[in-house]
Amino acid sequence: MRRPVEVGLAGQRVSSVSATSLYTCAVLTSGAVDCWGINRKGTLGIGHLSRASRSPVQAHAISNAASITTSNFHACALLSTGAAMCWGSNDYGELGAGLHGRLSATPLLVL
């Protein structure tokens, strides 16, 4: 039986978390977003398509997230301003940034 392990968030506190079978993202109380796991189609939001990260890495350009939601191939953060940012797969325009068909490994503001 596998046992839960503590995620190394360098002493940061978490306000929300969302997970898929491939990766997990957490909103820290600071407003930053950290993700870990498989980075298929840029789902970690770190600006490149590395294979995976076993430890949390900070998603780019987000400093005021309020909550997060994830799907297998994209994620979206609701910001404290009421705006949203999404990243990952965009095969069907799911990022809401007007870039239909092009993935983004960096969070984009939803139009």
pLDDT in tens, 42-52: 999 999 998 89
What integer pLDDT is reported at residue 99 of this predicted model?
A: 82
Mean pLDDT value across residues 8-29: 92
Assess if residue 28 is contained within a domain: yes
* Element spanning 57, H or E: strand 52-58
Q: What percent of the chain has pLDDT over 70?
A: 97
Q: Which domain holds residue 33?
A: 14-109
Assess if residue 96 is contained within a domain: yes
Q: Which two tokens stand for residue 66?
A: 């309020």
Q: Which two tokens stand for residue 7?
A: 């995620």
Assess if residue 6 is contained within a domain: no
What integer pLDDT is reported at residue 12 of this predicted model?
A: 86
31 Cβ contact list (under 8 Å, min separation 6): 62, 63, 64, 65, 66, 80
The pLDDT of residue 60 is above 90: yes
pLDDT per residue over 67-103, tens digit each?
Answer: 999 999 999 999 999 999 999 999 999 999 998 888 9
* Mean model confidence pLDDT for the chain: 93
Q: Please, what's the b/e burial string for 74-84 (b: 16 or more CB within 10 A of its CB; e: otherwise)? A: bbbbbbeeeeb
Assess if residue 91 is contained within a domain: yes
> Taking phi first (over 0 means left), then psi (-120 to 50 degrees means alpha), and beta for anything else, what does residue 66 get?
alpha
Domain count within the chain: 1
At 110 the three-state DSSP class reads coil
Assess if residue 43 is contained within a domain: yes
Is residue 16 within 8 A of residue 67, CB to CB? The reply is yes
Assess if residue 3 is contained within a domain: no
Assess if residue 1 is contained within a domain: no
What integer pLDDT is reported at residue 18 of this predicted model?
A: 98
